[in-house]
Every structure is written in structure tokens, then in C-alpha cells.
């Protein structure tokens, strides 16, 4: 299988098999061996199992998994015994995890910007086809509709933060790829497991909650 086919296969797994832009994004963040690891890492799998599955020596795989985790290509589970690794599963997940890769260049972010501006809407239509009911529905004139989405009250947000065991602040991925905001980008608050993930990877600051939010 050629390198291009590896990249296309990853794009297929992410739900955008025909995207040249996404293929370029994957190519910038993963070499051929890393692509093999990504394609083999499902379901969650140990380093030894990854080595057996890909034919890459165990020591080499062991040296690869941490950098791939930091890139957002792999996720890690420590629930029982030896750590197990599994590949990035969805395009939104890959978007958020890879953009905060410390080695990301402006070229990499610009490709994501291009994809979001030109292809995200079409990708959404593909995803809608797999949903049990349409995201958008026609509402007859004169029929009232109860809005289920709402903005949380300040008190509700305060309670969520105060009850969190762990907090982390990370850069906003949308602001990062735009690159022209001119405002602070460290504005996304992660809690508990998401905060753990952010702390493990290192983008943004993170700390244990010590006192109520004021």
C-alpha cells in the first residue's frame, strides 16, 4: 500500500475519504509508519500488540506512541494494567486534538482553516445521513416550537466549575486556526477527564481546583 493510500484510508475512517485537503493535513502530521500505527490501533491495543499487528519492532512502537499521543493521532487508556492506545475516531475529535499539537505550523493550521471554510458543510451533510432523524426539519407556519438549547446561567456554570475535581484552560482551536483574532486564545475550560487529557498533553495551563469560583 502506498503512502497516499495510507492517508486516504485514515481520511476514510474520519468520514472524508475524498478530501485532498484532509489528506494533506494527515500527511503533515503522520509519516508512513505512524499511519500504520493509527490504522492498527482499534480497538484499544497495547504496544506489544501494535508491534505484532504492524510488524514494527516493539522498541520502535514504544518510542512512537507518546509523540503520536501529543499530536492527537492516538488516545491512551490507563484503566487496567499496561496502557492501551486507540486511534482518533472522528473528524471533530481530530480537529480539536491535532490543532493543539505543539509542533503544528502555520501551514498546518491554514490547511485546517481551508477545510473548515470549504468542506465542513459537506462533511456535515454526510454525517446527517447516518443519523436516525434529520438535524434540520421543516416547521409549519403558526406552530410554536420549544427551544431546548439554552445558555447556562452564571450560577450553573459556577456550580459546574466548583464541583469539578480538575480544571484546565486550553487554547480555542477555532481561534488558533483563524490566526487573526488578536485576542487571548486560552479561553476554553476543560473539566475532569477532559482536563486530565489536556494536562497529559500539555497545551494550556491546568491546575487542581482549590477554591470556589468568584
Q: What is the pLDDT of residues 140-172, one digit of tens each?
A: 665 666 666 677 788 888 888 888 888 888 888
Over the range 84-108, which residues count as b (16 or more CB within 10 Å of their CB) and which as e? bbebbeebeebbbbbbbbeebeeeb
Beta strands in 39-109 (DSSP E): 74-77, 84-87
The per-residue pLDDT for 152 is: 77
Find out whether 136 and 163 touch, Cβ atoms under 8 Å: no
Domain ranges (residues) in the chain: 3-127, 154-208
Q: Collapsing DSSP states into helix, strand and coil, what is residue 25?
A: helix
pLDDT in tens, 51-86: 999 999 999 999 999 999 999 999 998 877 789 999
Q: Is the pLDDT of residue 214 over 50?
A: no
| Residue pointed to by grid coordinates 496502557 | 83
Cα–Cα nearest to 209, from 169, 170, 163: 163
The per-residue pLDDT for 182 is: 79
Decide which of 35 and 198 is more confident.
Answer: 35
Find out whether 214 and 169 touch, Cβ atoms under 8 Å: no
The torsion angles phi and psi of 144, rounded to 5 degrees, stand at: -80, 145
| Residue pointed to by grid coordinates 491495543 | 45
- CATH for 3-127 (2.40.40.20, 1.10.760.10, 1.10.10.10, 1.10.150.20): 1.10.10.10
Q: Is the pLDDT of residue 37 over 50?
A: yes
Of the listed ranges 137-146, 162-171, 195-204, 205-214, the one predicted with least confidence: 205-214
pTM: 0.76
Amino acid at each position: 500500500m502506498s503512502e497516499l493510500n495510507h492517508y486516504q484510508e485514515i481520511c476514510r475512517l474520519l468520514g472524508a475519504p475524498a478530501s485532498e485537503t484532509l489528506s494533506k493535513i494527515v500527511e503533515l502530521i503522520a509519516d508512513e509508519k505512524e499511519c500504520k500505527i493509527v490504522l492498527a490501533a482499534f480497538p484499544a491495543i497495547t504496544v506489544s500488540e501494535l508491534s505484532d499487528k504492524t510488524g514494527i519492532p516493539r522498541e520502535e512502537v514504544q518510542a512512537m506512541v507518546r509523540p503520536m499521543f501529543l499530536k492527537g493521532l492516538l488516545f491512551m487508556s490507563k484503566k487496567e494494567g499496561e496502557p492501551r492506545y486507540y486511534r482518533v475516531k472522528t473528524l471533530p475529535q481530530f480537529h480539536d486534538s491535532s490543532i493543539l499539537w505543539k509542533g503544528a505550523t502555520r501551514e498546518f493550521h491554514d490547511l485546517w482553516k481551508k477545510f473548515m471554510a470549504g468542506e465542513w458543510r459537506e462533511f456535515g451533510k454526510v454525517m446527517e445521513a447516518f443519523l436516525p432523524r434529520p438535524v434540520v426539519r421543516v416547521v409549519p407556519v403558526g406552530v410554536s416550537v420549544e427551544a431546548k438549547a439554552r445558555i447556562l446561567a452564571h450560577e450553573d456554570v459556577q456550580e459546574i466549575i466548583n464541583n469539578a475535581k480538575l480544571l484546565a484552560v486550553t487554547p480555542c482551536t477555532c481561534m488558533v486556526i483563524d490566526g487573526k483574532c488578536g485576542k487571548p486564545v486560552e479561553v476554553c475550560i476543560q473539566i475532569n477527564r477532559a482536563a486530565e487529557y489536556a494536562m497529559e498533553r500539555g497545551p494550556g495551563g491546568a491546575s487542581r481546583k482549590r477554591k470556589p469560583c468568584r
